[in-house]
Amino acid sequence: MDPLSNKRIVNLLLCWFFIGVSCNSVEKKIYVHLNYTVPCVRLLNATHQIGCQSSLSGNVGVLHVLESEENLDWVLKTGRNPPYLVILESPLFTRSIMMKLKNGSGRVAGVAVVAPNSNPLEGFSPHTTCPNENTGVYSENYDPTMAHCNVTKWNPLGNGLAYEEFDFPIFSLKDDNETQIIRQCYLDHNRPVNGSTPQYPLCAMQLYSHMSAVTDTATCMRRNDINFSISPEMVCDPLGDYNVWASTRPINNTEKGHKMWESVVIAAARLDSRSFFFDIAPGAESGASGFVTLLAAAHALRNATQQAQPNRTILYTFFQGETFDYIGSSRMVYDMQNSQFAVDLDNVHSVLEIGQVGLRADSKLWVHSDPVSRRNSSVDEEVAKLIANLKSAADKSNVSVNEPSSSQPLPPSSFQRFLRARPIPGIVLEDHQSAFTNRFYESMYDNAEYLNMSYPPNLTPEEQLEYVTETAKALTEVATTVARTLYMQAGGGEPQLSSISADPNIVTRLLYGFLVRSNNSWFQQLLPSDLMSQLANRPTNLYVGVSQQFSEPTLLVQHLLANLTGSVVNVTQDDCQNQRQDENDKENKHIYYYMWVQGAAPPNSTQREGFCIRSTVRLSKALSPAFDLREYTSKDYSTWTESRWKSIKGRIFLVASHDLEMLTLGVGFAVLLTSFVLTYVISSKADMLFSSGREPTTATY
């Protein structure tokens, strides 16, 4: 290649580079991108779809900050520049306003809700009044009088907003500098003065959240199976994850099904929660209060069950996906019925479930049982013994145990899925007698603030981690009561009870790690190095997610439970990661799980000293049986799926008037046509215009 060609290539590359830089610079001058946006996404089940989405190219609308519900007329009727993208302060994020915007969606391009820095005074729950209404035990066949929450509306503040479908995007915005930019842009360009129409240019917003799935789960799963290319495009995924479980006595997990002479007491809690927005599910009261209590109780029982093993095995179970029609518990029951789990239903002696226990009034704990199954005398007798054990354990702590009316059904709980299979003795512990105490059930306000987790000012994050809050003290009392009850229910003797006490330092660390920030020194010590990316400087998101990937709470609870119930063993990292005690060990992997964690760094060192934990902790699938059976319209199992999407983003910019845009387009076409005419004329007259005297080629000098 000659030097001239090289020079041309270099010049061409430089030209492309500067064009790219110039375009990027222009783009930055036009748009302000929003970095802290969380969308409402589309979910589907056997019958319909819920949630939100934008058009394929994103929805664009003129910004309008809604100042009151009366101000809706501007958006829905009188405003002259629709469609509008409505900015809502959190007090205006109500069902009344959202349904009006939904019904006027021809003039509404989208909604952005400004998440507050503190909780509202009034209750807010976007869930229904009767959670998991059609997949619990109370059906027309079981007891018609108790079906559909006829006796008790468990969530009276539920407005059902999270189960509506919106044909425009709805985002949550963090109340920070970006939100101030949006407000200022509105004040500078869009705010009507004395009812007058604001002048162009106007401030606009564009939201992208196009969803691939439509109609229902059966439709999207059928589309998943259509293979038009080598790499077919999936449009939705089943909701699901893994249940976490462990036992006080090693159980062979390789041999599935019934275990002769084995009797287990199941201690259960749910792991998940949700809110209206996809990535904000703190679930402090609805989820964390229960599973933190069970983790602390399991830790309290570690020494007692090792020193004086009771007759029955305690099976700690943490169910995933319970918010969406009991995904985790229904799967475990299904596996037990089909000999796909370590034990079966014949091995289950009784169940003790911990529900919402973080908001106890006057230190009261309410014990709920199923009045229908208790009509069976043997079940009633065992339930009475379980309640007696609980009351005996509570007598030695600052917990008051109470029973609601004998005719009241169970609240929404995983135990209901066991009762659908057969009558099993069991109880559910809650902090409410009838309707939920939780005013923010399944909402973004069900957070640490709502559980009154407050810290003295000027504490560092590590000092907050170790500070024992009043909430931690209260849950420690519940955990101690639960641990002692489980020990007695498993056949343990009373002399051991005094040594069984939950540790308030463990409880306060658990609460801090799940509800304030998971990226703390204690969690770091208890996880393998390759899971450090799961820790974040924010509360843990308890949304179950899709079955193709582990959720944050599953991984955290798995490793925390192993550390709290297992023991440190002196084996090499290689042997530990290969699930063995040594090179000749072929058996332990069937009854134990080995986990290498990174540990803490000694003083004056940055190198962590890892160690091996041996425990009985296992994972089991928390995917609805409907997807294994390909029964996408099932009425017995959860059918929830989550739509896939290409991108989630938002940006603001100034938009010119439609007339100016048309004028600009017209001028552009005129210039284009003029250039065509000039080019034609110049080309046709080229010989005349560009002719010049040339010397003959044969000229010599």
Q: What is the mean pLDDT of the chain?
A: 91
| Cβ proximity of 345 and 333 under 8 Å | yes
Q: What is the mean pLDDT of residues 129-139?
A: 95
From 376, 348, 353, select the one nearest 366 (Cα to Cα): 353
CA 635, CA 638: separation in Å to the nearest integer?
A: 8
Residue 442 or 67, more confident: 442
Neighbour count for residue 458 (Cβ, 10 Å): 6
Q: How confident is the model at residue 580 (pLDDT cuts 50, 70, 90)?
A: very high
Q: What is the mean pLDDT of residues 659-680?
A: 85
Element (H, E) at 479: helix 470-489
Q: How much is the pLDDT for 21?
A: 47
State what percent of residues in the chain have pLDDT above 70: 94
State pLDDT tens for residues 269-309: 999 999 999 989 999 999 999 999 999 999 999 999 988 89
State what percent of residues in the chain have pLDDT above 90: 74
Least confident of 359-368, 481-490, 506-515, 587-596: 359-368
Q: How much is the pLDDT for 138?
A: 96
Nearby residues of 129 by Cβ (< 8 Å), 6 or more positions away: 149, 153, 154, 155, 156, 158, 160
pLDDT at residue 25 above 80?
no
State pLDDT tens for residues 189-201: 888 877 677 788 8
Residues 131/135/137/142 CA torsion (nearest 10 deg): 120
Neighbour count for residue 414 (Cβ, 10 Å): 28
Burial (CB count <10 Å: 0-12, 13-18, 19+), residue 340: middle
3-state secondary structure of 307: helix
| Cβ proximity of 217 and 641 under 8 Å | yes
State pLDDT tens for residues 342-386: 999 999 999 999 999 998 878 899 999 999 999 999 999 999 999
3-state secondary structure of 81: coil
What's the number of CA atoms in the CB half-sphere (13 Å) around residue 31? 14
Q: What is the mean pLDDT of residues 39-68?
A: 95
* Per-residue CA distances from 11 to 3, 15, 39, 326 (Å): 12, 6, 44, 64
Alpha helices in 90-176 (DSSP H): 95-103
CA 360, CA 124: separation in Å to the nearest integer?
A: 19
**Would you state the structure tokens that stand for residue 70, as one six-digit string?**
């009366």
CA 61, CA 544: separation in Å to the nearest integer?
A: 32
State pLDDT tens for residues 92-118: 999 999 999 999 878 999 999 999 889
Name beta bridge partners: 237: 642
**Would you state the structure tokens that stand for residue 617, as one six-digit string?**
């902790």
| Cβ proximity of 241 and 545 under 8 Å | yes
From 393, 596, 419, 401, select the one nearest 502 (Cα to Cα): 393
Q: How much is the pLDDT for 230?
A: 65
3-state secondary structure of 245: strand
Q: How confident is the model at residue 700 (pLDDT cuts 50, 70, 90)?
A: low
3-state secondary structure of 619: strand
pLDDT at residue 655 above 50?
yes
Element (H, E) at 350: strand 348-354
pLDDT at residue 23 above 70?
no
3-state secondary structure of 15: helix
Q: What is the mean pLDDT of residues 382-406?
A: 92
State pLDDT tens for residues 163-173: 999 999 999 99
Q: How confident is the model at residue 592 (pLDDT cuts 50, 70, 90)?
A: very high
Dihedral sign for Cα atoms in the order 105, 108, 109, 115: negative
State pLDDT tens for residues 439-481: 999 999 999 999 999 999 999 999 999 999 999 999 999 999 9
Q: How much is the pLDDT for 4?
A: 45
Neighbour count for residue 49 (Cβ, 10 Å): 21
**Would you state the structure tokens that stand for residue 77, as one six-digit string?**
């009727």
